[in-house]
Chain A
Amino acid sequence: MSTAVRTTEEIAARVKALEALMIEKGVMTTEAVDRLADIYENEVGPQLGAGVVAKAWTDPEFKARLLQNATEACAGLGIGGLQGEDMVVVENTDTVHNVITCTLCSCYPWPVLGLPPNWYKGPAYRSRIVREPRKVLSEDFGLDVPDSVEVRVWDSSSEMRYWVLPQRPAGTEGLDEKALAALVTRDSMIGTGAPKAA
């Protein structure tokens, strides 16, 4: 059954078998599985990146440090770790729109965005976003980037993990950091969406 397309029951049984054998060999425990699943379901997710973005929108000194060295700036907020050991934040402006991908596997900045959505890991996005990013953003994500704005794609081929500092939405001058963080979407930090309007 190594090459056939598997049913959900077959893959579930295969993974149980693998898990059981790994447990018997002292490599895994069910507690470790539960702990990891809980961390990435309930603790590490895009709300962390959203907080960083909101802070950058309200604190120019922090924003400068974030763009200079994202790993250190995030570490100062207690954010970092697995698959974000070396992070780079790229800034959207009136003339530049950034978008991240990993064409060779599915590299993604886990400490700030959590685990990637399925589409980020799938062949369609990974193949097309480097070749026709404007078309993908427009047709598949409903995000039209004017021709006057340069589209910069970041293919995470090394262990550097890139993510996007989106532009602060208009009309949010009166909002505090917490209210601003609620506007920051996961996709706006991937570069496939915009923050919510105020």
Chain B
Amino acid sequence: MNGVHDLGGTDGLGAVVAPATEPVWHHEWEKAAFALFATNFRAGLFGVDAFRWGIEQMPPAEYLTSGYYEHWVHTAEHYAFKAGLFDEAELDARTQFFLDNPDAPMPDTKDPDLLAFVDAAVKHGAPAKRESDNVAKYKVGDTVRVIDDAPRGHTRKARYVRGKTGVITLAHGTFIYPDSAGNGGGDAPEHVYTVRFTNSELWGAEAAERNGVVHFDVWEPYITPASSAGAPA
């Protein structure tokens, strides 16, 4: 999807405002918003790729102007509605209830298994690496070109690398393919490579900063051998 979330190289978004320190939580509500990711994952509502796809479908102006955890709220709502857990009218009504009763308590339930899951998830994570019989088509040192297309749905093929030629610097093995898993498909593992692009390849000689490169990770279907793509050697 050619969405606003795909920010690499976008101009005009202003200065980076980086305070020397900032708290982990800026608002109390961020804690519950943060917990949506791990708990909803456990409930089978989404994997990480589908989670991102839910965020990418936010209205673009809202995406750019809302805080990060509001993005998480948006995708959690998206998949809860989709799974039929509750609908938007129920959520709106309950929101109004909490606007009218901001100190109303949360339902008090216990779930020791969920706590155990949380501890295990933090410690061990949810690896995206998957065994596969796929033989790697490329190796470190190969010059490759990112296919210049504009897929609909979820993809990690950012616009600023499409059509660009670079050199593979790392080969990581096979991982869940976001263009499948993020769009409701299976894991469909593919090889992942790190590709190094020069600044001038990405931005043109005139706009590029001196003496610099950008590394971008690609899944194998994103790339072709540079020679067959007609790119400069």
Which residues of A approach B to under 8 Å, CB–CB?
A: 1-3, 5-6, 8-37, 39-41, 44-45, 80-86, 88, 103-106, 111, 114-115, 117-119, 121-128, 130-136, 139-141, 147-160, 162, 187, 192
**Residue pair B98, A35 in contact (C-beta under 8 Å):** no
Q: Would you call the interface of chain B mostly helix, strand, loop, or mixed? A: mixed
The number of chain B residues touching the other chain, given as a range, is 35 or more
Contacts of A26 in B (CB 8 A): 43, 109, 111
How far is B110's CA from A79's CA once the two chains are assembled, in angstroms?
29
Min distance, Cβ B21 to any Cβ of chain A, angstroms: 9
With A106-B68, A124-B15 as contacts: A36 and B62 at CB distance below 8 Å? no
**Residue pair A10, B99 in contact (C-beta under 8 Å):** yes
With A85-B125, A131-B8 as contacts: A140 and B24 at CB distance below 8 Å? no
**Residue pair B214, A157 in contact (C-beta under 8 Å):** no
Contacts of A15 in B (CB 8 A): 29, 32-33, 73
**Which residues, 198 to 217 on B, are CB-close (under 8 Å) to A?**
202-203, 207, 209-217
Which residues of B approach A to under 8 Å, CB–CB?
A: 5-11, 13-19, 22, 24-29, 31-36, 38-40, 42-43, 45, 48, 52, 55, 59, 62, 64-68, 70, 73, 76-77, 80, 85-86, 88, 90-92, 94-99, 102, 104, 106-111, 114-115, 118-119, 121-129, 156, 158, 160, 170, 172, 175-176, 192, 194, 202-203, 207, 209-219
The residue that A9 contacts in the complex, of B102, B128, B219, with Cβ under 8 A, is: B102
The residue that A139 contacts in the complex, of B15, B19, B70, B125, with Cβ under 8 A, is: B15
**Residue pair A32, B192 in contact (C-beta under 8 Å):** no
**Residue pair A157, B158 in contact (C-beta under 8 Å):** yes
Contacts of B214 in A (CB 8 A): 130, 152-155
List 25 contacting pairs A-B, 8 Å CB cutoff, sorted by A.
A5-B62, A8-B27, A13-B96, A17-B91, A20-B107, A31-B111, A33-B31, A33-B35, A36-B34, A103-B6, A105-B5, A115-B34, A118-B22, A126-B7, A127-B9, A127-B10, A133-B209, A133-B212, A135-B209, A136-B16, A151-B213, A153-B215, A157-B218, A158-B172, A159-B176
